[in-house]
Structure 1
Amino acid sequence: MTDEPKAFEPIAAPTVSVVGPDDGETILLGTTRMRVLEDGSNTGHRLGMAESVLAPHTPGPPQHRHAQHDEGFYVISGTVRFTVGDTDHDATAGTLVMVPPGAPHTFANVTDQPAVMLSTFTPDLYVQYFRDLQDLIADGRPLTPQANIRAMSRYATEPATDVS
């Protein structure tokens, strides 16, 4: 046995991701345009992030609960109505809404103006859900509440059927 020190292999420096204002993956979901800023590939799948533009009078998904990820929403402009159980919250620019696993929620733009929000998903599990919805629409299938719920079920998410 030798007491020779082992050679250390250099550790690769972390790569910084920079997404410019015209970059990112665009996902079109009816009257919502989403720009995926981080799909988890640069964060070890710990974080996903997207910017969403909701056209006026854009309905949201059925009220639902996530079992495996937190979801955060930061309203950049306009007003987004978040429904949590039976309670509505009209979130204006500068408002942060954090939704932990298990909390029932949905959102919509019920106003006459567009709304923009930044969303986070920790871990990134839910980013693929939005891609699945876009594929459904691209295949010519309608984005019904039932189709939405089927897609949600693939990502540890279920409808919140115990709330109105």
Structure 2
Amino acid sequence: MRVLEDGSHTGHRLAIAESVLAPHTQGPPQHRHARHDEGFYILSGTVRFTVGDKDHDATAGTLVMVAPGTPHTFANVSDQPAVMLSTFTPDLYVQYFRDLQDVLAGGRPLTPQANIDAMSRYATEPATDFAAGPAAEPAGNSAADLA
């Protein structure tokens, strides 16, 4: 992951990151954000989003928006790499990715519990109950597959 904007140039209203997901890469445990919206724009490949108990495959050109409170995760289940841009409004959650980088740099494994521990510092919690909440709202090309 590469942080393109950490919020320092946007008054902390917006952060943007680019992620490259290797083939067969699992994402974070399914989770909910309490204080920020998250957007994903797929640049190449296919990313599988799980929202509650439903899976949606997003291909290049698809924009997926996830509102606060929506249970979600993502993964690359394909044989090809996938690249996506992620937005965080406000920028609170971008520090989570730096925390994960510190875990790896320290030689510790990136376990589901390490992910959950880092999430908890940024108004985010695991979503194991799939409680009703607003659904992810796709926009842009190819988004009809996620509706």
With normalisation by structure 1, the TM-score equals 0.78
Output the CA distance in 2 between the equivalents of 1:138 and 1:55.
19
The partner residue of 1:93 within 26, 48, 60 is 60
The partner residue of 2:115 within 140, 148, 159 is 148
- Report what 2:85 is aligned to: 118
Greater RCO (Cα-Cα under 8 Å, separation 6 or more): 2
- Report what 1:40 is aligned to: 7
Please tell me whether residue 102 in structure 1 is matched to residue 66 in structure 2. Answer: no
Structure with higher strand content: 2
Q: Compute the displacement of 1:161 (Å).
A: 1.5
Mark the runs of 5 or more structure 1 residues left unpaired by the alignment.
Answer: 1-33
Q: Compute the displacement of 1:83 (Å).
A: 0.2
Q: Percent identity?
A: 88
- Report what 1:129 is aligned to: 96
- Report what 1:3 is aligned to: none
> Post-superposition, which runs of at least 4 consecutive aligned residues in structure 1 deviate over 6 A?
none
Structure with higher helix content: 2
Output the CA distance in 1 between the equivalents of 2:33 and 2:6.
18
Mark the runs of 5 or more structure 2 residues left unpaired by the alignment.
Answer: 131-147
Greater C-alpha radius of gyration: 1
Output the CA distance in 2 between the equivalents of 1:77 and 1:138.
27
Please tell me whether residue 64 in structure 1 is matched to residue 31 in structure 2. Answer: yes
Output the CA distance in 2 between the equivalents of 1:156 and 1:102.
10
Q: Compute the displacement of 1:140 (Å).
A: 1.2
